[in-house]
């Protein structure tokens, strides 16, 4: 995807690296037994450790380690058998310990890659630099009281994975594709639910610009805490234009941390960029290094589900689907599973169309997820069978589907109950055709001049049969009985 910013002095390209924070799906926190459940009363999911009380010791949550390694494997990444936790020291009211427990020198996961599925059907690989585990901070609530700030520590200590990309993302659109793909993989793996509205997936975008053809990277700014796909795209786009304008006006970009103001659609300076040494990182003396065995990693690898990239290629090869249809179907595991049950032993392209158009349309209109679909995949499959057998036409099938979407139910039973069975019987259709021809000489005449005039007769037969006439049979009867245009 080529993306260029036209400035007054020439063309510019942008360079983006993303740091994504993904909340690890675990029942308890990274170093304490407190619950990670969302939406609890403030300060009810807080262990003494999370509150920073002296004398408490952290105990590493084995499940969080397993989830991080699984995620690394899903990103085709190097798993580091030895990793360490360090203290990242800074003061903030929602960080009672006075430091964040994070990984720095030796993260649990090293280099990997993520494949973007481009709109033209192609792909682009973006390097993953690292993935490390860290504890989240609490939340400062500024808007509950007029002139006081409240602190909720429920989130404090919840396990996060920070997933850092190489500066290889070249447009706001690619940044969104990256976020979407990462979210899909995390959800397939079950290691993060990807819920951006709850803040369970959010990202910092590092943005710089350079003149087209320039090889060295420009000075970057980091935009913090983008919590929706739309904001990711808008913030990057705005920030890149700001930098181009600044440089073209003779200024220079200052490396800093910026905030995205979604109401104004612009980024604002927050603080000058802190360097790693400002945080006085050092290994946390309360925690032993994490030592994994290759056997442990191999076992997790063996239990990985089929991932979206593999599934996408398989859907294209086995079912003959286009890259676009395959992308749409594999984006959610539940959708891919639904499709496969529907398509098995049937016309797969037809099944894909029904899932992507009819089912998705129905779900969007009723505000349901695919898991809540009133039509089970086996029932949609049975509906496709009725079309394939000629029991109903594709058009009538839409009416049957609409009925199934209201009350569920078996399509064959709905067809019988509503008398929707297709009329494929010549002896039933022929008299209707004959009568129409007899009663409408003028229309018959126009068929002599215009081959399209036959459509009027088709419409009339459909009307007379309530849409149930077999369209192929009607076409054959009319072709045999009506005069042809010269
Ligand atoms: P930190 O933000 O903690 O200083 P890094 O220096 O490792 O960490 O960079 C973090 C992110 O910034 C990475 O995603 C990296 O790809 C991205 N990045 C680094 N340099 C640039 C640049 N010049 N332009 C855009 N992104 C960059
Ligand atoms: Mg950073």
CB of residue 127 inside a 6 A radius of ligand 1: no
Q: How far apart are CA 167 and CA 185, in angstroms?
A: 20
Quick one: pLDDT at residue 93?
92
Is the CB of residue 29 less than 8 Å from the CB of residue 157? yes
Q: Residue 88 C-alpha to ligand 2 middle, in angstroms?
A: 13
Q: Give the position, in ligand 1's atom list, of the atom nearest the Cα of 19.
A: 14
How many angstroms does the Cα of residue 193 sit away from the middle of ligand 2?
23
Residue 486 lies in a domain: no
Q: How many domains is the chain partitioned into structurally? A: 3
User: In the listed set 298, 330, 345, which residue is the last one of a domain according to the structure?
Assistant: 298
Please indicate, yes or no, whether the overall pTM of this predicted structure exceeds 0.85: yes
Domain identity same for 268 and 198: yes
The 10s digit of each residue's pLDDT in 49-75 is: 999 999 999 999 999 999 999 999 999
Report residues of the chain scoring pLDDT below 70: 1, 485-486
Q: How far is the CA of 106 from the centre of ligand 2 (A)?
A: 16
* Atom from ligand 1 closest to the CA of residue 218: 23
256-261 and 159-165 strand pairing: unpaired
The domain of 445 spans 426-481
pLDDT tens by residue, 444-481: 888 888 878 888 888 888 888 888 888 888 888 888 88
Whole-angstrom Cα distance, residue 52 to residue 138? 11
Q: 17 in ligand 1 pocket by Cβ < 6 Å?
A: yes
Looking at the structure, tell me whether residues 287 and 367 fall in a common domain. no
What is the number of other CB atoms lying within 10 angstroms of the CB of residue 166?
A: 17
What distance in Å separates the CA atoms of residue 103 and residue 289, rounded to the nearest whole number? 10
441 with 401, same domain: the answer is: no
Atom of ligand 1 nearest to the CA of 217: 23
Judge contact between 149 and 141, C-beta under 8 A: yes
Mention every residue, 6+ apart, whose C-beta is less than 8 A from residue 341: 377, 378, 381
The structure tokens 């710089």 sit at: 208
**Ligand 1 binding pocket mutation candidate from 126, 167, 219 (most atoms within 8 A of CB):** 167
Residues 132 and 210 in one domain: yes
Nearest bound ligand to CA 170? 1
What is the CA(17)–ligand 2 centre distance, in A? 10
**Looking at the structure, do residues 431 and 381 belong to the same domain, yes or no?**
no
Q: Provide the pLDDT for residue 250.
A: 95
Asked if residue 171 has its Cβ within 6 Å of ligand 1, the reply is no
Q: Which of 255, 273, 298 is the last residue of a domain?
A: 298
How far apart CA 156 and CA 337 sit, in angstroms, is 36
- Which pLDDT does position 465 carry in this prediction? 84
Q: Is the CB of 208 under 6 A from ligand 1?
A: yes
Verify that 354 and 440 share a domain, yes or no. no
Alpha helices in 249-322 (DSSP H): 294-302, 308-319
Give the closest residue to 109 by CA, choosing from 25, 20, 170. 20
Are residue 430 and residue 413 in the same domain, yes or no? no
Q: 10 Å Cβ neighbour count for 16?
A: 25
Q: How far is the CA of 195 from the centre of ligand 1 (A)?
A: 25
- 252 and 346 share a domain? no
Q: How many whole angstroms from 89 Cα to the centroid of ligand 2?
A: 15
CATH number assigned to the domain comprising residue 439: 1.10.10
pLDDT at 486: 64
Domain boundary among 245, 271, 298: 298
């Amino acid at each position: 995807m080529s993306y260029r910013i036209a400035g007054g002095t020439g063309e510019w390209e942008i360079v983006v690296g993303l740091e994504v924070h993904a909340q690890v799906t675990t029942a308890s926190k990274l170093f304490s037994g407190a619950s990670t459940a969302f939406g609890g009363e403030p300060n009810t999911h807080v262990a003494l450790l999370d509150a920073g009380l002296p004398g408490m010791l952290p105990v590493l949550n084995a499940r969080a380690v397993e989830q991080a390694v699984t995620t690394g494997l899903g990103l085709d990444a190097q798993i580091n058998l030895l990793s360490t936790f360090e203290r990242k020291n800074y003061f903030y009211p929602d960080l009672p310990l006075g430091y964040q427990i994070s990984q720095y020198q030796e993260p649990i996961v090293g280099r990997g890659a993520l494949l973007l599925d481009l709109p033209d059907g192609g792909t682009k690989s973006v390097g993953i630099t690292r993935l490390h585990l860290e504890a989240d901070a609490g939340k400062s609530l500024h808007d509950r009281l007029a002139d006081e700030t409240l602190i909720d520590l429920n989130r404090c200590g919840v396990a996060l994975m920070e997933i850092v990309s190489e500066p290889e993302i070249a447009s706001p659109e690619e940044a969104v594709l990256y976020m979407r793909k990462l979210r899909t993989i995390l959800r397939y793996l079950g290691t993060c639910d990807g819920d951006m509205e709850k803040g369970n997936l959010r990202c910092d975008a590092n943005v710089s610009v350079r003149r087209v053809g320039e090889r060295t990277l420009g000075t970057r700014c980091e935009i913090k805490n983008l919590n929706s796909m739309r904001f990711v795209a808008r913030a990057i786009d705005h920030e890149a234009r700001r930098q181009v304008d600044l440089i073209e006006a003779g200024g220079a970009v200052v490396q800093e941390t910026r905030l995205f103001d979604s109401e104004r659609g612009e980024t604002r300076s927050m603080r000058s960029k802190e360097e790693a040494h400002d945080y006085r990182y050092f290994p946390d003396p309360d925690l032993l290094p994490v030592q994994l065995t290759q056997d442990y990693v191999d076992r997790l690898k063996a239990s990985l589900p089929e991932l979206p990239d593999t599934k996408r290629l398989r859907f294209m090869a086995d079912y003959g689907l286009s890259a676009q249809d395959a992308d749409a179907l594999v984006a959610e595991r539940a959708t891919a599973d639904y499709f496969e049950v529907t398509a098995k032993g049937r016309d797969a392209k037809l099944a894909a169309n029904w899932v992507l158009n009819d089912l998705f349309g129905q779900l969007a209109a009723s505000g349901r997820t695919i898991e809540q679909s009133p039509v089970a995949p086996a029932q949609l499959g049975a509906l496709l069978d009725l079309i394939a057998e000629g029991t109903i036409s594709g058009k009538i099938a839409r009416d049957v589907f609409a009925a199934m979407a209201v009350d569920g139910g078996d399509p064959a039973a709905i067809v019988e109950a509503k008398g929707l069975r297709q009329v494929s019987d010549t002896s039933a259709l022929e008299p209707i055709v004959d009568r129409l021809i007899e009663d409408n000489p003028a229309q018959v005449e126009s068929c002599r001049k215009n081959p399209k005039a036959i459509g009027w007769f088709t419409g009339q037969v459909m009307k007379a049969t309530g849409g149930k006439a077999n369209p192929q049979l009607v076409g054959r009867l009319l072709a045999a009985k009506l005069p042809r245009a010269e």
